[in-house]
Structure 1
Amino acid sequence: MPARHSDTILKRLLALHPKVIDLSLDRMETILEKLGHPERRLPPVIHVAGTNGKGSLLAYLRAILEASGKKVHVYTSPHLVKFAERIVLAGEIISEAKLSEMLLECERINGPDSITYFEITTAAAFKAFADNPADILLLETGLGGRLDATNMVERPLATAITPISHDHEQFLGSDLAGIAGEKAGILKAGVPAIFGPQTDIAMGVLKTRASDLNAPAYIHGDNWSCLRISDDAWEYKGGDLSGIYPFPNLNGLHQVANAATALAVLEKLEGLSVTREDIVNGLASVKWPARLQKLTQGEMVRSLPTHTEIWLDGGHNEAAGARLSESLTAWNRDNPLPLFMICGMMANKDQGAFLAHFQPLVDKAVMVNIPGEDGASPAQELCDVGIRSGLDCVAAESVEEAINHLYPYIQRQPCRLLIAGSLYLAGTILRENS
């Protein structure tokens, strides 16, 4: 694949600050002022924080709003295959020319000043969003909330917080109440706040913060709820959008809660109404790669027996492991199949907590290196963690080598192959099998 101009610019931007992550808003305030405050010229914003489910929530909101005829901007991170995926302008991934233009302008205006990669690319995204008309902007935090670069929007249309759990502990700490407090930093005075399912500790923090700000809270369990009622239907109980809906076009039992959170958000958007038909169409068309995604094309699919189901998921923390294992357990009740796993993980994740959820499910696991990622755990070190977590596993240098190791098991009978542990690994798989 030829190098993109934006990739060259992004590589330069990585060198502007010694830390990849340095939570602060001072540098954002400076660059946004130099850019003429694009954050003040954005379409109405839905700002989303949380540990798990942020991307899925935005995917549902985008699909339903687009089904209703709205033009939707979207900002997410990280990307899977190319950086441009992070910036969607009125329904289309930003063009290479536009992305390079925005990055070059931010690079020029920032000069030699210290700024992190996420900060300067978020500033570029804000400029692109401000310069292109849309009905709404779906804005995902990068990390935390209170000091996240996206938290420069003074008055969003609504805020939403998806389930909070432990992740990025080197930046947010290990105390769940403290993590929830950082996520609650996106709440704004008088702005509706929608809370997805939470632990009691996290929900207590969120409720207190909302009350302190006089932010109207729409709370899972108190004001709205959801329930799976059959293999292909679920019920939302809340306000005007209450009713029974078909299962969404995303796999996993946890997607019901993500879809329901989207409906809760939509109920609180002033001036942006949707119909039941919009919701049904959005649920049917929603896409969010590498979230229990079934691979149906590419070299890996062609190289394995047709009786092999290949599933890809970027989950990488304890809560994601729990959700994945829950869905796999349910599938096994309906259609028992041997399960094999290929896993690569970043070194800064709680690998044991993630892997422990698969101990009763996985017949054989192979731990792999993640190509091009200096922060990834070497395969053998991850394998040692897997063994301590109760998995029958070995190490391999690459996914190709892992496939070769598993092939004698896979060829015998129908089975499932799960590739998981990192969005970076998932991006590599999609890049090679798209």
Structure 2
Amino acid sequence: MDFDYSPKTKELQARLLRFMDEHVYPAEPKFTAELQANTAAGQRWTPLQTIEGLKAKARDAGLWNLWLPVDSAAVAGFDGAGLTNQEYAPLAEIMGRVPWAPEVFNCSAPDTGNMETIARYGSEDNKQRWLKPLLEGRIRSAFAMTEPDVASSDATNIATRIERDGDDYVVNGRKWWISGAGDPRCAIYITMGKTDPDAPRHSQQSMILIPADTPGLKVIRPLSVIGYDDAPHGHMEMTFDNVRVPASNILLGEGRGFEIAQGRLGPGRVHHCMRLIGLAERALELMCRRSSSRVAFGKPVSAQTVTQERIAEARCKIDMARLLTLKTAWLMDVAGNKVAKNDIAMIKVVAPSMACQVIDWAMQAHGGGGMCDDFPLAYAYAHARTLRFADGPDEVHRNAIAKNELGKYAG
């Protein structure tokens, strides 16, 4: 593996860093103020004009759809940046320094994964109807998989039914933690459910496209994440009551849900992990600045041994997580997601835990300020902690890693 970034990536890094400095960081107070004003006006679930204005600037700067990979680069009339996983990863890190920043560049979850899924597995009609406006940033989307009534860490437990009825499929079930479903622009759901309960274990599930205005689809409530409801994006609980869609909305065919998930979640996990590395990098920067400017017990907090130990350990943890994630992205590029599955599992364990620890240390260095929204750390921690569940909990990935390791010595 070549540890240097490609010239294309370096050029985009420089442009992204400049855009973040000139536009995104200065907009953070405006973002918070607008969200508070919307809340006071009873309009919390309203798209934020702060982000919308930045989107126009990002498009004008040529920093739009950077995630769009080489193998999907010619879809719906869009070229994107045409980057490999390894080339895109350091850009995801830069955008991840502010949790809401990826949306500015049309590079946020779950839209990126959904767009890639439709690009790879959707019909031409579905690409034109859903992918094109998603790539243009005119609509948003959600991915409906997790359910409250079963242990969804084992995806074979998913109980939502997708049943064929003539030229349609009828969907019935209950989902929660459906990220993005709170946004009024959410127009399409990629939904995972069971088409054949009697098929082999990993051939029972399918994925289907469900327009948000389909009768029988109902959002019940937003769920808070350690006190944050993440409006206007939201993580919602919802029900599907005899939701009827055309049979052409099935992706790839019945029983192919796990195959689609493999293609969707691999790149998504790299994106998540690199964004977390960016978030941890910013937390370390804030910790260094804050501890250098505050005096306790007669000397700067940064001179306290415990602070220096944490800063050093944070530097080591961030760099180790970054190298492992970049190595995984490289392996996905040269050998494919299946070969890289163990490495993908490892980064999904390492990066969220690392980010939680580094952000926690930064909160400690900020004293009481670390617990409130005067600084971005409390929200950053809630975001990072959530990602120890999203795309599979730590325990599932650890089990997979252990089984792979034990398999080397079996028999």
For normalisation by structure 2, the TM-score amounts to 0.30
For normalisation by structure 1, the TM-score amounts to 0.29
